[in-house]
Structure 1
Amino acid sequence: MASVIRFENCEIDLSRFEVRRSGSKVPLEKQPFNLLVLLINRNGDVVSREDIVTELWGPDVFVETDRSINNAIRKIRLALKDDPEHPRFVETVAGRGYRFIAPLSASVAAPGTSVKDTGKNIAVLAVQGTRPTSGQYSRRRALIAAAALFAAAVVGLWVRSWVRSRPVTHSIGSIAVLPLKNLSADPGQEYFVDGMTDELTTELAHVGALKVISATSAMQYTGAKKSLPQIAHELNVEAVLEGSVLRDGQRVRITAQLIEAATDRHLWADSFEGDLKDALNLQRQVAQAIVEKVQARLSPDNRLQLMNRQEVDPVAHDFYLRGLYHYNKGIEKDFRDAIAYFQQAIAREPGYASAYAGIGNAYSQLSTYYVPPNDAMPKAKAAALKALAIDDNLAEAHAALGFVKVTYDWDWEGAAKEAQRALEQNPNLAAAHDVLALYLTARGRHDQAIASIQRAHQLDPYSIPIVADHIFLTFLARRYSESIEVGRRAVEDEPSAAMFHAYLALPYAMQGRFSEAIAEGEIGHRLDNSPLLESFLAGVYAVAGRKLDAERLVSDLKQKHESRYSCSYEIANTYVALGQADTAFGWFDTAYNERSDCMFALKVDPRLERIRTDARYQDLLRRVGL
């Protein structure tokens, strides 16, 4: 066989055991290298899996050959930048094997030549016909030692993942990435492991052919004692990915296994190891391997997204993961801590688009619950716009900007455009479906809105903001029984979520079930005595006829309003229920000036029936563009 084989921009140097692409060396392990040589040796012919096993391992060697072949093919394709959907070099022939299809510019060995001992042949190619020198003996011993180490690694992998990979008999349509386990002895690394779970989920979520459960919902199963089939049933997915992360100094190893929920079968397992600076690339490799295994079809955009993610400074990435960790905790202090970490990531890596998107989302959450919108939302918008200036394909940034447009700018069509753009990039982004649902509700297109919020709920079933929106949007659509059903399931699953109780009180009140409405409103207020929850309870008291209780609470809210954010829109609603229209419109003007996020509901809120014919209400609708 020629010592150098060339095809397109690639070279295989047998004497150096090297692969070069466009003149640069590309790392490729021994067994994938041997398989590539075998396929080139049979150029144009299909090489069956049985032939590969015989040539590379021999017929009697006991290793996980299916898994090893899959891994080797995947690594060859990564090294050559070969797209499995549109191959230029290595073609999969379904049910038969693999074929090398590129024209070669160097001669190859005659058919039938074994490459089982390619490493040994490489060692002697350059010195045929000469007596080996001591240096050449050293190189030979080094090659033999390397082969021995590689064999040990294969055996080690087999011991850690002893279940043989089995073929998937049908494509997998839905998946959840369960919280990866922290194998380091340092509990302080939890943020890193949780962040890797989140980012791996995001990588997979870009695949439109897959339904991928949001990381925030999957993280609810941290430390759960439930079986994998039970978890999959609760999340309504066909497969789950579980695994671990070991961070040791500047090295990272990700171990992952894919399990079919219905049968509890292990479909695939592998380990990925590299330098800390390569952590994002390791996640990408895991995602690509899973996509191939579950037979998900990728659009051209999906393929580009998986192959061309932003490279990030490892220190900046570490700050970003710390920010994600705090953001996902979902309380005021953690949102502020998340912003601080995202800012540190940007200070280290000024072009870090995802960190800017994280800042935008954190400020939006602060605005919803803790901070006046005029203070927080301009910062959220600026961060989202900066993220998009860096990477216009970042779905999370489009969703963040869409949320600002629908709840603060009242740029209704702009919000819809941003939500749609986000979903083009990431069809599994629950936040984008949520933004679209808010827009559709504001426009009175309730059937479409409910379909969108249901999709968001399916993708992120344990997200408190999204589940709360599901209760609220069905209420605004006047589907009171449906709203109650969603709310009751929510409080059963998460009884400590104050917003679920507060929103569940609303449809109860509209159905005249006042004792149940008051009970839920009071539970919500006990769990969270914030002005927002107090304002909901005041409104329920007013609708139920408990005028003195309602007036007591709104009086308290007005006193707090100067020093602590409270939702002016809900205070106005309470005065509507109390029959005090003039006072109500004064608070609606305050809500307008403060850009209250609830103003998106102004046109459809059933609590406003008694003022719909008032000219001031019609003027308010005009001012907000509804």
Structure 2
Amino acid sequence: MEGMSQVARFSIYSLDLVTLELRRKGQRCALQEQSARVLAVLLSPPGDLVTRERLREELWPDTAYFDYEHAINKAISQIRKALGDDSRSCRFIETVPRQGYRFCGDAHMDAAASVERTVEPISMKVLSGTEHSVPARLVVAEAVPVEGTEVSVGATSAWKRYAFLSVAICVLVLIGLFAARHIWRSRAAVSPESPLILGMLPFETESDAAKAIAENLRFDLSDSLGQVPGLQVRAAHSFTTAPRDNASMRSLASTAGLDVILLGRLEVNGTNCLLHFEVVRAKDNSHIADLSFVGNVNQLHSLRDRVQYAVYTTLGGKPGTLQHIQQRTANPEAYEAYLDGRHYLQARTDDSLNHAMDRFQHAAALDPKFASAYAGMANVYLIFADRGEIPNGFDMAQRLANKALSIDQSSAQAHAILGCTAQSRGWDSVTAERELRLAVDLDSGEAVYHIWLATLLSIQGKADESLQQIALAESDDPFWPPVYQAAAFVAANAGKNQLMLADAGKMVELTPRWPIAADQLAWAFWYSHRYSDAIAEWQRMAQLSNDADRLALEAAGEQAFSKGGATAYAKVRLAALNTKSGHNYHDKTIEQAEWNVYAEQPGRALEILSAMVQEHDPAAITMAVDPAFVSLHTDGRFLDLLQRVGLPNVVPIESKRTSR
């Protein structure tokens, strides 16, 4: 009977061993029956060697099947494609040479009915037709009442009455593979088979107590809602940084392809809190429902779970089916410590990162099964390792990410960190790409995972694929400056100067007083041979930073440029790098090599790059596509360095210049 189906669960997948239905995050995946039968054999039980002869006996016991070898190969290939697996660096299906196959992932069996088969993807019915074509009260009536939750219906104009909270911009400094360098998708029409795209605006607040927790709670709610089958959360960062007027909000909703918008108001009085949402249809700003949640600031984890459930059922999800979707912690003190850690992590200063580590460690001590706390610690170690401040940082980041995955295999953050450490620590692009693609699959609405994957593909020379991932990031968070920082990096590596200038210009447009944005635009000007514009933008960057040393450096550089051109300016920059004058951020080794090239000292540049390879410097992985090194592309010593790092052959100089 269907109710007694046995289900094998692994990572974000499940296979019903009776019906042979393969599901990913609760939604059915296409897999031919023959291939599903092979997967079922490999999972019975997982970890055992299954010979090719056993597969023949299981699948064709009474048939003189003359070409079962080809059929098995085809089935294994289809399984790997469905699971996003790779035979070169397997996560699920391991090939045992000359013997057979083994399921090498962590899997467990459920004797009960398949939870995934009861989790209904969210329906589009509340969004179809004209305003109130589906009465909100009828949709809400499907929900199982949740303690402390009130649901009401009104017809108030959402945009006109929502007062936006003025929040300081919290920009996530890009980490991982591209931090050592200077760093559109057209969405198909939404159909009932497509996920609902949701955006959550910054909460309206009044008291300091509410403001202190509002943004961290909003981001965690966004993560939580992103785990719901059939729902994708976008533009979490863009809503923080975009202009607050109604026209800009409508433009953002349209650009991000949002179907639903949550307008929130958070009130805190002592230990009591009230979180109110208006659920709005994005295409015409019409009202769907009001959701109110009364709780305690010491029980925010409970509030998060109630919001997740109420939003899911309000938008047409089936009541009573979310109990097996990943939960985080039931310990309120651990959850509070985790939110504090996220808050400190955003600042990215050494002091704030140490505070973040302390809070994540405290959360894990209070709840040793809190996967997100371990992922948070891994993130901190990754940042420190990328800066070269902790010798074993990559090892620690990898260990903690694996610890998070041992608790929860669906942690997109942990998979992404494993991808970054694989490339930076081991120059293992196969594992890095696999892990980052899995992170994107797990949380496709999170722009940062598209950015990391785009960066990896870019340094591998896969320009078209990297630009596609950047387009997805822009679609997910169209007003978030780091998206355009990464986009300019990827465009520069692809030799697409006009696109690079446009992306760097967009970054400055969004954050005109951010020194890093000015630095990015200056590099875009320099790579485009607009040297005077580059020097002027670096001067503006120094003014924004109120950096007297850098202002003096640029003044000397401008004078040198007026007499000796770009080569003379490059020598001034080199001298400053050697004395550390006018440079106040971390690793500058790769930049020394770049300025040596521009100073017409290629031999010295190659010596620096060789030392970076010898020391396994993470920044060495950008060599093949760095625009500064185009003149080295025919040098045998440079090509030898690329081979040692495992980087692809560079695009011929003529092709690079043509693409510009």
8 Å contact kept, 1:203–1:306: no
Assess, with a 3 A threshold, how the Cα gap between structure 1 residues 376 and 466 changes in structure 2: closer, same or farther: farther
1:469 and 2:492 equivalent?
A: no
- The 3-state SS of whatever aligns with 1:545 is helix
Of 48, 68, 73, the match for 2:142 = 73
Of 197, 219, 223, the match for 1:174 = 197
Partner Cα distance (1:502, 1:565) in 2: 15
8 Å contact kept, 2:252–2:478: no
Which residue is equivalent to 1:567? 588
Which residue is equivalent to 1:319? 337
Partner Cα distance (1:353, 1:409) in 2: 24
8 Å contact kept, 1:442–1:601: yes
Of 325, 328, 333, the match for 1:307 = 325
Once the two structures are TM-superposed, the CA of residue 375 in structure 1 deviates from its matched residue by: 6.1
Partner Cα distance (2:516, 2:323) in 1: 36
Of 247, 252, 260, the match for 2:281 = 260
Once the two structures are TM-superposed, the CA of residue 413 in structure 1 deviates from its matched residue by: 0.8
Once the two structures are TM-superposed, the CA of residue 505 in structure 1 deviates from its matched residue by: 2.8
1:625 and 2:646 equivalent?
A: yes
Query: Aligned Cα RMSD in Å?
Result: 4.0
Identity among equivalent pairs (%): 24
Deviations 1:391-429 (A, max 9, x none): 221111111221222344321111111112212321212
Assess, with a 3 A threshold, how the Cα gap between structure 1 residues 222 and 546 changes in structure 2: closer, same or farther: closer
- The 3-state SS of whatever aligns with 2:565 is coil
Once the two structures are TM-superposed, the CA of residue 575 in structure 1 deviates from its matched residue by: 0.6
Partner Cα distance (1:484, 1:563) in 2: 25
- 1:287-436 aligned within 5 A: 287-294=308-315, 307-367=325-385, 371-372=388-389, 374=391, 376-436=393-453
Partner Cα distance (1:620, 1:502) in 2: 28
8 Å contact kept, 1:191–1:321: no
**Paired residue type of 1:560:** K
- The 3-state SS of whatever aligns with 1:74 is coil
Once the two structures are TM-superposed, the CA of residue 387 in structure 1 deviates from its matched residue by: 1.8
Which residue is equivalent to 2:656? none
- The 3-state SS of whatever aligns with 2:274 is strand
Of 495, 507, 510, the match for 1:490 = 507
Assess, with a 3 A threshold, how the Cα gap between structure 1 residues 441 and 230 changes in structure 2: closer, same or farther: closer
Which residue is equivalent to 1:204? 225
Partner Cα distance (2:322, 2:504) in 1: 40
8 Å contact kept, 2:450–2:470: yes
Once the two structures are TM-superposed, the CA of residue 178 in structure 1 deviates from its matched residue by: 0.6
Of 574, 579, 596, the match for 1:554 = 574
Once the two structures are TM-superposed, the CA of residue 203 in structure 1 deviates from its matched residue by: 1.9
Alignment size in residue pairs: 476
Assess, with a 3 A threshold, how the Cα gap between structure 1 residues 216 and 495 changes in structure 2: closer, same or farther: same
Partner Cα distance (1:529, 1:590) in 2: 34
Which residue is equivalent to 2:266? 245
Partner Cα distance (2:646, 2:620) in 1: 11
Residue ranges of structure 2 left out of the alignment (5+ in a row): 4-133, 159-189, 648-660
8 Å contact kept, 1:195–1:324: yes
TM-score normalised to structure 1 length: 0.66
**Which 10-residue stretch deviates more, 204-213 or 595-604?**
204-213
**Which 10-residue stretch deviates more, 590-599 or 432-441?**
590-599
**Paired residue type of 1:354:** S
**Paired residue type of 1:179:** P
Partner Cα distance (1:427, 1:435) in 2: 12
Residue ranges of structure 1 left out of the alignment (5+ in a row): 1-7, 9-64, 80-149
Of 113, 134, 155, the match for 1:163 = 155
Assess, with a 3 A threshold, how the Cα gap between structure 1 residues 597 and 496 changes in structure 2: closer, same or farther: farther
Deviations 1:339-383 (A, max 9, x none): 232222223223321122222223434555x55474643443333
Once the two structures are TM-superposed, the CA of residue 241 in structure 1 deviates from its matched residue by: 0.8
Partner Cα distance (2:593, 2:234) in 1: 38
Once the two structures are TM-superposed, the CA of residue 478 in structure 1 deviates from its matched residue by: 0.6
8 Å contact kept, 2:238–2:480: yes
**Paired residue type of 1:575:** N
Of 451, 465, 480, the match for 2:468 = 451
Assess, with a 3 A threshold, how the Cα gap between structure 1 residues 313 and 226 changes in structure 2: closer, same or farther: farther
**Paired residue type of 1:446:** A
- 1:459-538 aligned within 5 A: 459-528=476-545
- The 3-state SS of whatever aligns with 2:144 is helix
Partner Cα distance (2:216, 2:474) in 1: 22
**Paired residue type of 1:432:** Y
Once the two structures are TM-superposed, the CA of residue 525 in structure 1 deviates from its matched residue by: 4.3
8 Å contact kept, 2:484–2:506: no
Assess, with a 3 A threshold, how the Cα gap between structure 1 residues 211 and 69 changes in structure 2: closer, same or farther: closer
- The 3-state SS of whatever aligns with 1:307 is coil
Q: Which has the higher helix share?
A: 1
8 Å contact kept, 1:253–1:274: yes
